[in-house]
A and B are shown apart, each in its own frame.
Chain A
Amino acid sequence: MEFSGGKRKKLRLADDQRNACYPHSLQFYLQPPSGNVSLTEFETLAIDRVKLLKSVENLGLSYMKGTEQYQSKLEAELRKLKFSYRESLEDEYEPRRKDHISHFILRLAYCQSEDLRRWFIQQEMDLLRFRFSILPKDKIQSFLKDSHLQFEAISDEEKTVREQDIIASSSTFGGAQLDPESVYKIPFAEALDLFRGRKVYLENGFAYVPHKDIVAIILNEFRTKLSKALALTARSLPAVQSDERLQPLLNHLSHSYTGQDYSTQGNAGKISLDQIDSLSTKSFPPCMRQLHKALRENHHLRHGGRMQYGLFLKGIGLTLEQALQFWKQEFIRGNMDPDKFDKGYSYNIRHSYGKEGKRTDYTPYSCMKIILTNTPGQGDYHGCPFRHSDPELLRQKLQAYKIPPAGISQILDLVKGTHYQVACQKFFEMTHNVDDCGFSLSHPNQFFFESQRILSGGKDIKKDSVQPETPQPRPSVQRSKDSSSTLDSLSSALDMDLEELEELLQ
């Protein structure tokens, strides 16, 4: 693929040609895309697909795959992000092209480690499964043929002869009748997962696979091919990474937070200091709740905790003056000398509000950042309790927060599966008495905002600058010619890490 720096060059094809390029709403991504794409589009495509795959993950955890809710929510997400999903829609060229290119871009970002690969393959498989499940019957055969899979549907006579055997072999048939659906004849070695458990009828080296089971096989094929492709991609990655236009984006993509950044403009001054204690039990996410408690008990917090909690407070609306007062009051209770506070700690607080040094207005940490970076050590209270607490300790904490035992088990199961943010969502649902929190948690300030919304009866809390899901350009930072907004916010996050290192007081 070629990357152009300036204006977008779009290939203009005649309608027929466009449809021929992408004859189906889904594909196995066997061929890489060709043509040109601008850097901006490159970035947008990548981010949109990351959002899509994260939704796929989230929905898969919140709902049983294949249920009505799951299907409709996933379809809504696909529509919102303008990806292809349905075969029958008109003029699907753009969404399909988007789907094609974005997949290949993400291969570059997600081939780099075993964990990333596993995650990417899992979500892509779930996405494919969904799309295949809504494919109309008459389109299936042509899709399979176009994808070079040698699955031939057997004739009705052949089916009747073997009917009893097929029914007896397949676990997907309840009754004694074979559905009028197709049965496919494939070489037995391609139905490994089915025949090893004797879940399919074998005859003369072929497996007679009912339509319902063919999906598992197709997905397996897909997984094998994608796995190999990712391994190959990883090998050619150094060449791609040497392109400095792409390198920062690819490196950050797998860790990127793609939602609101909860900067302060809208909220400033809405909270008073005496509200904080009660807010901490009502609307704070567990990570901040435990930081607040530790601060109150010890009259002190270490650097990591001060950063994580301090920026969160800024995000919920604490002004600089309030922040200074808040921290000073508490530290003095711990017998700190007020002068020492002014000399050492207040500079930092002003710095994090963008009033010192580089004057970067630091944004509160996202869940991703809290989970992945700066692991807490002995004597630290920051981090994500679902990620960083020992399961037994976490259980005790949840019990202290009055979560019912069934809820605790659910949460612990999610934690075991490393779905920390979903576990926190569950926590939200339990503490706010709702079945479905209605959002996909990715930021502590989001937790707070949503909580306040529910507690105030659903009225939208006034936010002046409600920012859309895609990152906006930041006027305060110089934009280089080819960089984009995400790169800016990502690089400021990067800067913050460096700043932290510099300013490590302890």
Chain B
Amino acid sequence: MEAFDPAELPELLKLYYRRLFPYGQYYRWLNYGGVVKNYFQHREFSFTLKDDIYIRYQSFNNQSDLEKEMQKMNPYKIDIGAVYSHRPNQHNTVKLGAFQAQEKELVFDIDMTDYDDVRRCCSSADICSKCWTLMTMAIHIIDRALKEDFGFKHRLWVYSGRRGVHCWVCDESVRKLSSAVRSGIVEYLSLVKGGQDVKKKVHLSEKIHPFVSVFLNDPSPVRDELQQGFQRQSNSPQRWETLKNTINKYQKNNKNDKCGLWLEWEIMLQYCFPRLDINVSKGINHLLKSPFSVHPKTGRISVPIDLQKVDQFDPFTVPTISSICHELDVISTKEEKENGTESDTKHRTRDYKRTSLAPFVKVFEQFLENLDKSRKGELLKKSDLQKDF
């Protein structure tokens, strides 16, 4: 893979936004079938430009408007915000208090640094395959809950480009949820509580809620991973056994809060359970890094993760902007040699398909298919109710 040099970003981004960014699919997503008038037009985007210039309240009329602006501004980073009551780029003309964030996907951000207290292999921005296991487990746990407990159907998991993952829940009803309910969902999903000053961060009450027990009892790979993950941290399988035996003995003799019924599980969960940042999820107007945005430090593209193959996902093989640009160069030069002409516009729009970005766009398209299917289903239901044939 081509090495990434941040100094080359301006040039690389130019090429990326001209020939590789999947505008069609991107617009298809955020337009949500055009069912709600002006849904796309009222969406806030924010751009981070060269030299850390940050501009908010960007909004666009349609796909081609979006394309033109992105190509013109060449943003280093793109964030997606809420759908507002008015066009964000006109928010200054709106009467005070009338400009309100109305809807947004429910988002989660799982960041590796939140695990610093239990990672022994790396710290802060670094990751390695050992600690990425924690991330894989987190995705399993959270995704299962979102799907089976909350009934959320359209969940897009995206690699953030460096050390974490994001989840975008795009169901229609979910986009309308209030801030209070979003906070409640994060609380439901949180087992590990407390910051630096709290030693024991997981407390299980006597009765274990199904959300937790599913993992403790799950005979599937998830639980084995959990245990393995823990053992890896402890450096020895024997340590785990010793720990369990010691706790059992202690529990029999001594009843106090530190040694509740579930101490061994609590310790394990403190090591392995996902940690969520509530601030990311609760605010309707929160801005989160967009899928297919580039990470300015690593050069990696924020690509969607295939849920069917999440255990095989390797962040170190995610394409960087330099690598795909290089791939594109190679292909174009080859074509020129073969056809004697420069790639025309028709080819340009499908250029990503010839690079390592292709499989990830496919995952995204599958996600969009599901959204479409759901939407059609809903419309049919509604028209049936209205007896509209």
Contacts and interface: CB of A to CB of B under 8 A. Distances in A.
B184 to A, nearest CB: 4
B97 to A, nearest CB: 15
Contact of A192 (B152, B181, B208, B212): B181
B151 A192 contact: no
A216 to B, nearest CB: 14
Interface stretch (A201-209, A268-276, A299-307): A201-209
Given A168-B208, A168-B209, A168-B213, A196 B151 contact: no
A192 B180 contact: yes
A192 B187 CA distance: 10
Given A171-B207, A189-B181, A198 B151 contact: no
B151 A204 contact: yes
A205 B208 contact: no
A180 interface: no
B150 interface: yes
Contact of A189 (B177, B207, B213): B177
A484 to B, nearest CB: 43
Given A168-B207, A169-B209, A171-B207, A202 B150 contact: yes
A197 interface: yes
Contacts of A203: 148-149, 151
Contact of B184 (A165, A168, A192, A206): A192
Report the interface size class on chain A. 10 to 19
Given A165-B210, A168-B207, A169-B210, A195 B177 contact: no
A38 to B, nearest CB: 43
Q: Give the one of A165, A171, A198, A204 with max B CB within 10 A.
A: A198
B200 to A, nearest CB: 18
B211 interface: yes
B292 to A, nearest CB: 29
Contacts of A205: 150-152
Nearest to A201: B210
Contacts of B185: 195-196
Nearest to B176: A189
B188 interface: yes
B136 interface: no
A195 B209 CA distance: 11
A133 to B, nearest CB: 25
A205 B207 CA distance: 22
Contacts of B152: 205
Interface string A179-218: 0000000001100100111110111111000000000000
> Interface size class for chain B?
20 to 34
A98 B185 CA distance: 42
Contacts of A197: 187-188
A204 B144 CA distance: 11
Interface in B151-205: 151-152, 177, 180-181, 183-185, 187-188
Interface string A147-189: 0000000000000000001001101000000000000000011
A198 B211 contact: yes
B210 A168 contact: yes
A62 B128 CA distance: 61
Nearest to A200: B209
A188 B211 CA distance: 15
Given A202-B149, A204-B151, A206-B151, A195 B208 contact: no
B213 A195 contact: no
B150 A188 contact: yes
Nearest to A170: B207
A198 B184 CA distance: 9
Contact of B188 (A168, A171, A196, A204): A196
Contacts of B212: 198
Contacts of A201: 209-210
Contacts of A199: 209
A199 B205 CA distance: 11
A160 to B, nearest CB: 16
A201 B145 CA distance: 12
A227 to B, nearest CB: 13
B184 A195 contact: yes
A192 B149 CA distance: 14
Given A192-B181, A202-B149, A202-B188, 7 more contacts: A188-B150, A196-B184, A196-B188, A198-B211, A198-B212, A203-B151, A204-B149
11 contacts: A168-B209, A168-B213, A192-B180, A192-B181, A196-B184, A197-B188, A202-B149, A202-B188, A202-B211, A204-B148, A204-B151
Interface of B: 148-152, 177, 180-181, 183-185, 187-188, 207-213
9 nearest CB pairs, A to B: A205-B151, A196-B184, A204-B151, A202-B149, A198-B209, A196-B187, A192-B184, A165-B210, A189-B181
